Structure 1
Amino acid sequence: MITIEELRTEEEVVQIFPLMKDLRPYLDEARFREIWRTMQPDGYRIYAMYDDGELVAFTGIQIRMNMYYFRHVFVHELVTSAGRRSKGYGEKLLTFVHEWGRENDCVTVALKSALTRDAAHRFYEEKMGYDCFCYSFKKELVE
């Protein structure tokens, strides 16, 4: 049985750290906790997906407002356990995000994906109907 639950406490959230580490290998647990605590006042939420009680995927989302997406859900993370990929968990979890966004008066779901993640790009475009319409740029300020 598949369930999706919001993780609200730090003790609950830390259980997804091994999956977060797959996506963001540069994070250690202390930094992960610190960043999570900092993002809370801005409405960052983590939803975990379980299959028969086993954690298989999670997403980190936040409602944002801007001039080009308007009120939207921004997907910071969407991660499925390496051994559970291509089994429909990502599709179910992202569909949950779409429904959650509609329930929260959002008109768009937006996300970023690293240039090297070709399989993720195919998933977003071909399976989930997302449009790839721009590049995202960054400049490091700390040397």
Structure 2
Amino acid sequence: MKNTTEKILELTTIEQWKKAFPIMKQLRTDLEEETYLALLNEMRKDGYRLFALISGDNIVSLAGLSFRVNFYSKRHVFIYDLVTDASSRSYGYGETLLNYIHQWSKENGAEYVALESGVQRIDAHRFYEEKLSYDKWCYSFRKTL
């Protein structure tokens, strides 16, 4: 059931990051807490920010992002991590958090919000395209070294 007391805030302390870890682990299943904290600390040096939607006393959704600049998206926010707790899905938390990120990004000078999603995440793709009007406009590739 959706709680009526919701807030969105940037997580900036180790205690907050630890509280968020079980939710992040649902998306990044290969992470252990020690690695998560070490990578998060390093990523923050490169501008990574972690936002949480909190309902009552519980983190229910996370968005990890950073500002980037390139030729094709100009000044934009790239969302690296977006996850809603499995027990809290279908209550609109992800949409609420993304709408907040959209507004925050625009207020901070971004021209776009961009993200990538695994090819197997069909429901997520439908959510981005149909519910939030994202355009599917490219493929992303990587090579293991």
Q: TM-score range by the shorter chain?
A: over 0.9
Where does residue 68 of structure 1 map in the other structure?
72
Q: TM-score, normalised by structure 1?
A: 0.96
- Where structure 1 has 5 or more consecutive residues not aligned to the other structure, the ranges are none
1:65-121 CA distances to partner (integer Å, 9 max, x unpaired)?
011000000001111010111110010000001011011100000000000000100
Report the identity percentage.
46
Say which of 5, 12, 25 aligns to 1:8: 12
| Aligned 1:1-143 pairs, distance under 5 A | 1-141=5-145
Q: CA deviation at 1:10?
A: 1.8
Q: TM-score, normalised by structure 2?
A: 0.95
Q: Residue type matched to 1:94 in 2?
A: L
Name the SS for the 2:91 alignment partner. coil
- Where structure 2 has 5 or more consecutive residues not aligned to the other structure, the ranges are none
Q: How many residues align?
A: 141
Q: Residue type matched to 2:112 in 1?
A: T
Q: CA deviation at 1:9?
A: 1.4
Q: CA deviation at 1:52?
A: 1.5
4+ residue stretches of structure 1 with deviation over 6 A? none
Q: CA deviation at 1:14?
A: 1.6
